[in-house]
Chain A
Amino acid sequence: MKLQNRLTFSILIIAMTLIGSGCWSYRELETLGIVSGAGFDLGKDPEQVLLTVQVIKASKGKGGGNGSLGDGQGQGSRPQPVAIVESNGATAFEAVRNAVSKFSRRLYWPHNQILIVGKEAAENGVKNYLNFGIRQTELRPTAWIMISPGKAGDLIRAPGEMGQIPAMEIKDMLQAQSATSEIGSFTFYDFIERLMSKTTAPLATQIRLNKEGEVELAGTAIFKGEKLVGFIGKKETRGLLWVIGKIKSGVVIVKAPANKGKVSLGIIHAAGKIQAETKNDSVKITVKVNVQSGLGEQTGDLDTSKPEVIKSLARREATVIRNEINAAFKKAQELNADIFGFGEAVHRADFKAWKKLEPRWDEIFPKLKVKLIVKTNISLNGLINKPISQK
């Protein structure tokens, strides 16, 4: 009896509190401008931040919604599914807030797919763009971060080939890269993680508009601390990915022995491992890469049924991989950016020595000697085990 009194009473109180206070965080779907991609550039004066965002228009094509939906485009051409908003601000945060003055809806960030930073902006340091991202609970850490050699805004503006939401297409493109593993894909979160350790160099995907004005992914952007220091191409990128063990699949093309054409090997499984040991503050780094691959295709008539042939192919593959890694390593040493995270490896190996090494890492890294062990093994050779040759 008493209990029910209490229950009803409490419900009454809850109702009172709710009605008395109204609803705060309530936001209807159609009041949101869902951001699919954002780009940061330097404004007119370098102090300013120029923010370009791509906002999804909920088109009536999807979901069989009702008729009342105004998208600015004419009926004839397929309507562009996104709207572009630009805004300035002293800081990124202010720029985001200012966007409201130019746009009917409040920007809604959680579904942001890609975050592009322009070259100049990146060279001045990206912290003040990212800081807001990580503080503001809305931006997800799983958004992909990219650097463009030109203006980020142009990439945000660039329409997608499929008439889909451009940012989505870029994201899909990025994820499709695992087929070749020549483009590293780094989330906003990976970036911050690398930024957190003083020595490891943050990485971001390099994205640019080629001559035809299409969006294309090219290599990787390398940071030192929070500042952009340079780009590396696809070859070096793969070299980098071998070491940090981010290779999912891909194709290694090797010259067949006795120039019997080329053989392309599909990577089945690849693992990279960094081992560091220190004795009286001299650092010794060993990189072990272990690759399993299978015959993908071959030009020319190399008889692949013989084990020794396979072995020689494996050896050649190993050299190819070693070259790629060395290229990446050379580039990294030029830029003096520890893209592989050797520093952290040392830290893990023995943190006492690291305490002394860490401040001097910039001197150590450029003349760091790395022992490179690449083990390759061709386990599968496809459905046929002989070349197709008329005999």
Chain B
Amino acid sequence: MKREIAKVKMEFAKEEFITKGKDLALNLTANLDSIQSELNNSSDLIIRRFGLGGSRQDQGAVVFIDGLVDKKEVEWSILRPLMLKEAPISDKPEGEDRLEYIELSLITVGEISREHQFNRIIAAVLSGKTALLIDGSGEALAIATPGWEKRSVNQPDSEVIVKGPREGFIETLRTNTALLRRKLGDPGLTLEALQVGTRTKTEVCIAYLKDIADPKLIKEIKQRINRINTDGILSAETVEELIEDAPLSFFATMGYTERPDVVSAKLLEGRAAIFVDGTPVVLTAPFLFIENFQSPDDYTYKTYYGSMIRWFRYTAFGISILLPAIYVALTAFHQELLPTQLLITMAAATEGVPFPGVVEVLGLGVIFEIIREAGIRIPRPIGQTVSIVGALVIGEATVTAGLVGAPVVIVVALTAISSFVTPSIVQESKIIRLGITILAGFLGAFGITIGLLAILIHLASLRSFGVPLLSPMAPMHLRSLTQDVLIRAPWWMMFTRPKAIADQNRTRQKFYSRPGPPEEGESEENR
């Protein structure tokens, strides 16, 4: 907590309009008035004046924001001990040592701090603390009595998995970090808090494992976050866009997740996680392209099926970016590649269709996107009807009306479905698909390959916090490749962390730690 305060101080040091904040006056009323004026008498600002130790004239006051604090806490642990008669305050001399006495022996709240600067009191009050001011002291107590509404921890809708933990992050930073702590008992787990957003004052927290994560990486992340100079941070994506390596690239260079288990797995691989207060999404860096195809389920399935499903995912990605282009290329340029029967069938199906194949594919793709968007935006129950109407009725009708050929509908539908197999890369795949389909419409297979080459070059040139995005394919690290890319190796074979990420501390476990029953002559201890 001390460190956070220090950070807050540092943060404020950057802002000139508060740095000329004055100290507290000795007069209580004056202080309260200036607090009120500073907060423009907001209706949710509550100032409760009272007398210490049952004395008549008011010598103290608590200041807090209604809704941010737990009222019971304030009443029981602050007001009660101070106001009751038996509290021997009156015989304490006025001023700081009286306040000290209160802090030390009366207030029964865990987190408490002394402040003498005016603006700091304000900040504390605004961040859900209760300020205790007493007459005749140039200092005040900032008492943490947080008690605002929060969502309960449950499975995130975006990342549903079959086996494995069901909990997901919520909007409150502390809860999220607590979830992470519960997963990682290692004392090396470090949480560094920064505050960004000159007006939102959003708390951003970098989490990493000290002896695993690359110090340079952490330094880099901190520098980039401190470089942020915007007035408001409302979501993790904002932070991502403000600190990522290739802002203009349409490939993501940072990972995101809503699951504590995923975050802890990534931390264990030597990555760093960035929590942003007010959003359940947690960013992870550095990011590898391959992570788009890794799902937490891979690691809960047995290794064979895990590897198989991963290859299905690669295939699905291939389909989602290539299928329309391949369809166009085959039907418009390379008919000789189709089996004769299939060619005849397709010729029959597209007979008399007014538009060329490219136009059909692109148009239908656009229509599909519109339907999807509509299905998402409007309320759930209607949404499903919309998607059904769109998909079935429109699809069927266009074919029967002879506007598009049946194969095109199949192609577009298949593409759409397989593009949702890898949710984290769905945006990229859409852009790529569009571009490559157009290229294919002009130049067939040549166009497709040229497009893929251009994308490959772009990917190869991308880095995420100094790590090549295409690693471990290029530059190639066979160990990492065989552990978690080509196959999902069984846990007892994942000896090392990815070389590209955690190079200074790679060993995860003893080299050959294959489980099995004890062979005779060897006892449980020495194996």
Contacts and interface: CB of A to CB of B under 8 A. Distances in A.
Interface of A: 1, 3-5, 7-8, 10-11, 14, 18, 23, 25-30, 32, 34, 36, 56, 58-69, 108, 110-111, 113, 138, 140, 168
- The 7 A-B residue pairs with the shortest CB-CB distance, nearest first, are A110-B336, A68-B352, A4-B248, A58-B347, A63-B345, A66-B402, A58-B348
Contact of A140 (B248, B331, B336): B336
Contact of A66 (B333, B343, B351, B444): B351
B454 interface: yes
B426 interface: no
Contact of A29 (B335, B340, B435): B335
A343 to B, nearest CB: 35
A354 B123 CA distance: 103
Given A30-B350, A64-B406, A58 B344 contact: yes
22 contacts: A25-B443, A25-B444, A27-B332, A27-B333, A28-B332, A29-B335, A29-B350, A34-B335, A58-B344, A58-B351, A59-B348, A62-B348, A63-B344, A64-B406, A65-B349, A66-B352, A68-B402, A110-B335, A111-B335, A111-B340, A138-B336, A168-B340
Contacts of B452: none
A108 B275 CA distance: 62
A355 B346 CA distance: 54
A5 B401 CA distance: 44
B461 interface: yes
Contacts of A4: 246-249
Interface string B306-328: 00000000000000000000000
Given A30-B350, A63-B347, A113-B340, 18 more contacts: A3-B246, A3-B458, A4-B246, A4-B249, A8-B248, A14-B439, A25-B444, A28-B332, A29-B335, A29-B346, A56-B344, A56-B347, A58-B351, A63-B349, A66-B352, A66-B399, A66-B405, A108-B335
B356 A28 contact: yes
Interface in B333-372: 333, 335-336, 340, 343-353, 356-357
A65 B406 contact: yes
A28 B357 contact: yes
Contacts, number: 120
Contacts of B461: 3
Contacts of A69: 348, 351-352
Interface in B437-491: 439, 441-444, 450, 454, 458, 461
Contact of B443 (A18, A27, A67): A18
A356 B125 CA distance: 110
Contacts of B27: none
A200 to B, nearest CB: 30
Nearest to A27: B332
B290 to A, nearest CB: 21
Given A7-B454, A26-B333, A34-B343, A66 B353 contact: yes
A68 B335 contact: no
Nearest to B338: A111
Interface string B384-428: 000000000000000111100110000000000000000000000
Nearest to A4: B248
B307 to A, nearest CB: 34
Contacts of B350: 28-30, 65
A59 B441 CA distance: 26
Contacts of A28: 331-332, 350, 356-357
Contacts of B439: 14, 18
Contacts of A1: 247-248
B227 to A, nearest CB: 15
Contacts of B246: 3-4
Given A4-B248, A68-B402, A60 B454 contact: no
Interface string B87-104: 000000000000000000
A30 B351 contact: yes
Contacts of B442: 18, 23, 26
For chain A, what secondary structure do more than half of its interface residues adopt (helix, strand, loop), or is it mixed? Answer: loop
B399 A63 contact: no
Contacts of A62: 344-345, 348
B469 to A, nearest CB: 12
A34 B402 CA distance: 22
B100 to A, nearest CB: 55
A64 B454 CA distance: 39
Contacts of B444: 25
Given A18-B443, A28-B356, A34-B343, A65 B336 contact: no
Contacts of B406: 63-65
Contacts of B405: 65-66
A20 B357 CA distance: 20
A18 B440 CA distance: 11
A108 B335 CA distance: 9
B402 A67 contact: yes
B130 to A, nearest CB: 48
A29 B348 CA distance: 9
B56 to A, nearest CB: 69
A345 to B, nearest CB: 36
B134 to A, nearest CB: 56
B454 A29 contact: no
B248 A29 contact: no
A26 B343 CA distance: 16
Interface string B229-248: 00000000000000000111
A59 B439 CA distance: 31
Contacts of A11: 435, 454
A59 B353 CA distance: 14
Quick one: which of B249, B333, B349 has the most chain A CB within 10 A? B349
B454 A32 contact: no
A51 to B, nearest CB: 20
A64 B349 contact: yes
Quick one: which of A30, A36, A113 has the most chain B CB within 10 A? A30
Contacts of B443: 18, 23, 25
Contacts of A66: 349, 351-353, 399-402, 405
Nearest to B337: A110
Contacts of A32: 335, 347
Contacts of A5: 248
A32 B441 CA distance: 17
A265 to B, nearest CB: 36
Contacts of A140: 336
Nearest to B354: A68
Nearest to B404: A66
Contacts of B347: 29-30, 32, 34, 56, 58, 63
Nearest to A168: B340
B274 to A, nearest CB: 23
Nearest to A19: B442
Interface in B282-320: none
Contact of B336 (A3, A56, A111): A111
Contacts of A3: 246, 458, 461
A64 B399 CA distance: 10
Nearest to A165: B344
A61 B458 CA distance: 47
Contacts of A111: 335-336, 340, 343
A60 B351 CA distance: 9
A64 B405 CA distance: 10
B352 A10 contact: no
A111 B346 CA distance: 14
A142 B405 CA distance: 31
Contacts of A36: 340
Contacts of B332: 26-29
B466 to A, nearest CB: 16
Nearest to A60: B348
A213 B303 CA distance: 64
Contacts of B450: 14
Nearest to A112: B340
Contact of A23 (B401, B441, B458): B441
B210 to A, nearest CB: 33
